[in-house]
């Protein structure tokens, strides 16, 4: 069942939409290729497969950039292998980070005492009309910018 989400459009009017879209934070994608965390890798892969199957997954250009850096620096993945994984992310809707989203993230960060980068994830998810974000970086159970925060790894 889709959850109703109320969000503001570009000129500030509130709109209501029914959505089942889920935004994936970088850590979920990184765990999917992490050979040193088999339980989290398996869970992440199941979550990703489910979102691919129903077409409800959303990421952003920020997530793609962070994935590449984490995969190559933290996991030691060869750059071309990381690039090949990035290409598979085309199955998801991709939010292009814009100046408007950056300004929204600054506001969210300031008002909610979260890091700018986490706020940018939330702003991107909200702009795409996602009802939830899967992450382990924020407090599960909270709702910020109309997006419910869930940790599928617990």
Q: What is the pLDDT along the chain (154 residues), one digit of tens a residue?
A: 333 333 333 334 344 444 599 999 999 999 999 999 999 999 999 999 999 999 999 999 999 999 999 999 999 999 999 999 999 999 999 999 999 999 999 999 999 999 999 999 999 999 999 999 999 999 999 999 999 999 999 9
Which of the 8 DSSP states describes residue 136?
S
Give the neighbor-by-neighbor strand order of the sheet with 22-24: 93-95, 57-60, 22-24, 132-134, 147-150, 143-144
Domain coverage including residue 82: 16-150
Q: Is residue 121 assigned to a domain?
A: yes
* Predicted pLDDT at 19: 52
Indicate whether 138 belongs to any domain: yes
CB 6 within 8 A of CB 16: yes
How many structural domains comprise the chain? Answer: 1
123 belongs to a structural domain: yes
pTM, 2 dp? 0.86
137: domain CATH number is 3.40.50.1010
Q: Report pLDDT for 1.
A: 33
What pLDDT is recorded for position 55? 96
153 Cβ contact partners less than 8 Å away, ≥ 6 residues apart: 28, 31, 40, 43, 44, 136
Of 90, 74, 85, the closest CA to residue 29 belongs to 85
């Amino acid at each position: 069942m889709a959850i109703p989400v109320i969000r503001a459009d570009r000129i500030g009017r509130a709109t209501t939409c029914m959505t089942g879209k889920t935004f994936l934070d970088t850590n979920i994608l990184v765990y999917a290729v992490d050979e040193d965390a088999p339980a989290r890798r398996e869970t992440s892969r199941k979550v990703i497969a489910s979102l691919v199957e129903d077409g409800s997954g959303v990421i952003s250009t920020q997530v793609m950039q962070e994935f590449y850096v984490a995969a190559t620096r933290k996991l030691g993945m060869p750059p071309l292998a990381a690039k090949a994984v990035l290409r598979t992310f085309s199955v998801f809707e991709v939010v292009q980070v814009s100046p408007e989203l950056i300004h929204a993230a600054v506001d969210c960060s300031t008002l909610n005492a979260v890091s700018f980068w986490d706020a940018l994830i939330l702003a991107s998810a909200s702009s795409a009309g996602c009802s939830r974000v899967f992450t382990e970086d924020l407090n599960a159970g909270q709702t910020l910018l109309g997006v419910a925060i869930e940790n599928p790894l617990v």
